């Protein structure tokens, strides 16, 4: 079962204040988000740095599943989300390992998930989910569709952007010597060396 930490989710009482704090202090970039009327909360994903992600959860009214979590605190770590390529393989792996889970859902092809209760994971709620990471990023952090890299000439050499497994891209600034070394490495590998 291949997993990567996709994001950490914070539950807060005051979404506006939390959003302003993380934008002002850490420069996060907003991505996808939506209200969930059925469970009584809203969520928004924010990207920062090397495409690490933070999700902010906030209750909508008094019937939110977050009500009990926020009853005695202003906010805090709610869960971590581990991304998997295959939710069914993840589920089978947990079954083989004897790890209980709940909330298994595979009805939506864009978001499939299950949860491991904190009592079974050393105090942390773990969400395991299968999804397309780019769907949760803002446009400024994505490569064009179908592209795994982009190259831009700069005054000092070039900027190479490469697709990141968590969605979006990571960038490298290369000087002329590094460009030459990269070209030589690519040619050597292409020729079997």
Sites in the chain below the pLDDT cut of 70: 1-2, 50
Identify the domain boundary among 118, 136, 154. 136
* Distance set, CA 111 to CA 38, 69, 71, 85, 106 (Å): 16, 24, 29, 11, 7
**pLDDT on residue 106:** 97
The residue from 136, 159, 176 where one domain ends is 136
Distance of CA 73 to the CA centre of its chain: 25
pLDDT score of 192: 86
What is the number of domains present in the chain?
2
Domain end point (choices 136, 155, 174): 136
Query: Do 23 and 88 reside in the same domain of the chain?
Result: yes
Same domain, residue pair 86 and 170: no
Domain membership of residue 173 as a residue range: 143-190
115 contacts 103 by C-beta, under 8 angstroms = yes
Residue-level pLDDT at 107: 95
Indicate if 118 and 43 belong to the same structural domain.
yes
Whole-angstrom Cα distance, residue 125 to residue 98? 17
Identify whether residues 76 and 116 lie together within a single domain: yes
pLDDT for residue 117: 95
Confidence at residue 50, expressed as pLDDT on a 0 to 100 scale = 65
What predicted TM-score, i.e. pTM, was given to this entire model? Answer: 0.75
């Amino acid at each position: 079962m291949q997993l990567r930490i996709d994001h950490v989710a914070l539950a807060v009482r005051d979404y506006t204040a939390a959003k302003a704090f993380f934008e002002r202090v850490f420069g996060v970039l907003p991505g996808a988000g939506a209200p969930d009327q059925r469970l009584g909360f809203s969520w928004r994903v924010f990207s920062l740095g090397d495409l690490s992600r933070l999700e902010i959860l906030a209750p909508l009214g008094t019937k939110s599943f977050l009500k009990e979590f926020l009853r005695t605190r202003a906010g805090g770590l709610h869960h971590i989300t581990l991304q998997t390529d295959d939710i069914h393989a993840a589920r089978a792996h947990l079954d083989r390992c004897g790890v209980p889970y709940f909330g298994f859902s595979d009805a939506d092809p864009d978001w499939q998930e299950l949860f491991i209760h904190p009592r079974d994971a050393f105090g942390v709620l773990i969400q395991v989910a299968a999804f397309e990471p780019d769907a949760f990023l803002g446009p400024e952090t994505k490569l064009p569709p179908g592209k795994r890299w982009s190259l831009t000439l700069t005054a000092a050499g070039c900027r190479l952007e490469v697709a990141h497994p968590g969605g979006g891209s990571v960038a490298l600034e290369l000087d002329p010597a590094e460009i030459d070394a990269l070209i030589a490495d690519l040619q050597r590998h292409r020729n079997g060396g």
